[in-house]
């Protein structure tokens, strides 16, 4: 990366420094962000301060861990910038979480818990993430720590980690995600559809909260989730004896999502071009109604969830033999290919998580406090957004140059066709 990026960074950060509204703290923000972007394998405060030379460790530590400044206006500035770069009706808002492995038991939120990125239970911190993405360009806009029960049941432990009073309640990851989605909506960020894996999509309240907000969504679903056929009817049974029934019940029994698609026609679908050619899998889809509405007691004394709204059930069979299931309230006339492309667009957030850790040191923070961790995470998201802005700028220059070349070629060869622009590879982002 040439040295012009530093002067570009100072200009680009102007809205963030304005949002910081603290003259004494403002100079530390560019230093910290530049330290995350610059050379060096370790992006914790001590090596960043040593590489900079003009600021000390104590200054950086005070800025992140204990300095008096409000992160909310800077978070809003990040949302505004993300919307400017990739927001729009064709953008995705992707909900996921990422794990930060930790040793010991004193860092805020650390506990043995399942880490999807590691594929196992590990001692770690787990952050709920929101990513705004369009044209295969992701911009991370939110990282919020999930507190396990071992923390929310221990007020003294939360006090030592300086967890704010309004963050001490027990919230599930889907509940945290809905809070953050509300913040994104309130900021005016534009997106067309919410995507999430089954860790969120299998939560009925999460899906219902998205629908209540008028949002389109496509989310993962457990293969064991009960669903009804779309044409299920609610009948009012006549009681043979005793009090008459007060509620309608389905005229068909529910089956698992896996069973609901077992007899469908599976089609080979290609949704985008990867580095090794077209990406394809077998997909099947049918309209269903998820069994996640209110519960009634059935004739056999068993409690059963009633049918919810009609949605798409989509299945995916991978070449490895693995099967995945999804549910979506995208339009009823949407083609299978578009449904598959929407569902598979979620992969881009995993790339963002990897780059935030490997290139910008998201998991290098060595402090223990809530405020320190979230400020560090905010600085890494700002650094990532800056690199993505340079990526888009470089891609725009290439598009313009190719357009000029294509015009010249077309003048010489009227039957010729210009090649489509392909965005800069993420692996070359650090070279921009």
> Does one domain contain both 296 and 173?
no
Is the alpha carbon torsion for 407, 408, 414, 416 positive or negative? negative
Secondary structure in 3-state letters for the chain: CCCHHHHHHHHHCHHHHHHHCCCCCCCHHHHHHHHHHCCCCCCCHHHHHHHHCCCCHHHHHHHHHHCCCCCHHHHHHHHHHHHHHHCCCCCEEEEEEEEEECCCCCCCCCEEEEECCCCEEEEEEEEEEEEEEECCEEEEEEEEEECCHHHHCCHHHHHHCCCCHHHCCCCCHHHHHHHHHHHHHHCCCCCCEEEECHHHHCCHHHHHHHHHCCCCEEEEECCCCEEEECCCCEECCCCCCCCCCCCCEECCCCEEHHHHHHCCCCEEEEEEEECCEEEEEEEEEEEEEEEEEEEEECCCCCEEEEEEEEEEEEEEECCCCCEEEEEECCCCCCCHHHHHHHHHCCHHHHHHHHHHHHCCCHHHCCCCCHHHHHHHHHHHHHHHHHHHHHHHHHHHHHHHHHHHHHHHHHHHCCCCCCCCCCCCCHHHHHHC
204 domain-assigned: no
Nearest CA among 338, 325, 334, 321 for reference residue 270: 338
Q: Based on the domain organization, do 116 and 247 belong to the same domain?
A: no
Residue 230 sits in the same domain as residue 174: no
Residues 232 and 293 in one domain: yes
Residue 402 falls inside a structural domain: no
| CA 263/CA 393 separation, integer angstroms | 48
Domain span including residue 92? 4-197+349-392
The mean-pLDDT minimum among 184-198, 340-354, 394-408 falls in: 394-408
Structure confidence at residue 413 (pLDDT): 37
pLDDT of 23-37, one tens digit each? 777 888 999 999 999
Task: Give per-residue pLDDT as tens, 85-144.
Answer: 999 999 999 999 999 999 888 999 999 998 877 788 999 999 999 999 998 899 999 999
* In-domain check, residue 209: no
Residues constituting the chain: 432
- Same domain membership, residue 225 and residue 187: no
Are 165 and 227 in the same domain? no
Confidence at residue 428, expressed as pLDDT on a 0 to 100 scale: 39
What would the pLDDT profile of 382-422 be if each residue is shown by its tens digit? 999 999 999 888 877 665 565 554 444 444 333 333 223 23
Kindly state whether residue 241 falls inside one of the protein's structural domains. Answer: yes
Identify which of 96, 148, 154, 159 has the alpha carbon closest to the alpha carbon of residue 122.
Answer: 148
Domain count, the chain: 2
Q: Does some domain include residue 268?
A: yes
In a domain, 282, yes or no: yes
Same domain flag for 23 and 82: yes
Identify whether 36 is part of a domain. yes
Q: For the chain, give the mean pLDDT.
A: 86
Q: 170 and 32 in one domain?
A: yes
**Strand 249-250 and strand 255-256: pairing?**
unpaired
- Tell which of 280, 310, 345 closes a domain: 345
Asked if 320 and 388 sit in the same domain, the reply is no
pLDDT tens track for 221-234: 999 999 999 988 88
Considering the domain architecture, whether residues 59 and 151 belong to the same structural domain is answered as: yes
Pair 95, 191 in one domain:
yes
Q: Would residue 421 count as lying in a domain?
A: no
Same domain? 282 vs 357: no
Q: Which residue has the higher pLDDT, 410 or 184?
A: 184
**Tokens 């990282």 belong to which residue?**
143
């Amino acid at each position: 990366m040439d040295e012009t990026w530093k002067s570009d960074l100072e200009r680009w950060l102007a809205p963030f420094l304005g949002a910081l509204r603290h003259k004494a703290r403002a100079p530390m923000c560019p230093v910290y962000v530049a330290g995350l972007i610059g050379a060096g394998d370790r992006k914790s405060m001590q090596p960043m301060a040593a590489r900079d030379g003009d600021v000390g460790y104590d200054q950086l530590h005070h800025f992140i861990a204990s300095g008096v400044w409000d992160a909310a206006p800077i978070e809003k500035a990040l949302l505004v910038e993300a919307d400017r770069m990739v927001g729009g009706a064709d953008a995705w808002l992707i909900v996921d979480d990422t794990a930060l492995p930790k040793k010991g038991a004193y860092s805020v939120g650390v506990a043995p818990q399942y880490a999807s990125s590691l594929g196992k239970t590990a001692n770690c911190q787990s952050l709920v993430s929101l990513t705004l993405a369009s044209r295969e360009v992701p911009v991370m806009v939110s990282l919020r720590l999930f507190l396990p029960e071992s923390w929310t049941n221990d007020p003294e432990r939360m006090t030592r980690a300086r967890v704010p009073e309004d963050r001490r309640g027990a919230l599930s990851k889907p509940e945290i995600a809905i809070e953050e989605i509300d913040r994104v909506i309130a900021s005016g960020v534009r997106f067309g559809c919410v995507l999430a894996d089954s860790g969120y999509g299998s939560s009925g309240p999460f899906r219902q909260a998205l629908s209540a907000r008028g949002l389109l969504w496509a989310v993962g679903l457990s293969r064991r989730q009960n669903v009804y056929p779309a044409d299920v009817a609610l009948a009012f049974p006549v009681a043979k004896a005793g009090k008459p029934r007060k509620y309608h019940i389905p005229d068909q029994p529910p089956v698992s999502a896996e069973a609901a698609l077992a007899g469908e026609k599976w089609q080979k679908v290609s949704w985008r071009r990867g580095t090794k050619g077209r990406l394809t899998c077998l997909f099947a889809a049918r309209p269903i109604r998820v069994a996640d509405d209110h519960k009634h007691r059935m004739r056999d004394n068993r409690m059963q969830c009633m049918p919810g709204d009609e949605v798409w059930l989509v299945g995916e069979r991978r070449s490895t033999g693995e099967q995945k299931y999804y549910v979506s309230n995208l339009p009823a006339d949407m083609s299978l290919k578009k449904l598959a492309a929407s569902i598979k667009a979620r992969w881009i957030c995993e790339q963002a998580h990897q780059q935030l850790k490997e290139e910008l040191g998201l998991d290098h923070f060595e402090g223990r406090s809530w405020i320190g961790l979230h400020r560090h995470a905010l600085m890494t998201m700002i650094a990532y957004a800056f690199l993505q802005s340079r990526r888009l700028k470089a891609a725009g220059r290439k598009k313009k140059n190719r357009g000029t070349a294509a015009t010249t070629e077309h003048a010489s060869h009227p039957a010729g066709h210009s090649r489509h622009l392909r965005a800069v590879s993420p692996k070359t982002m650090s070279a921009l």
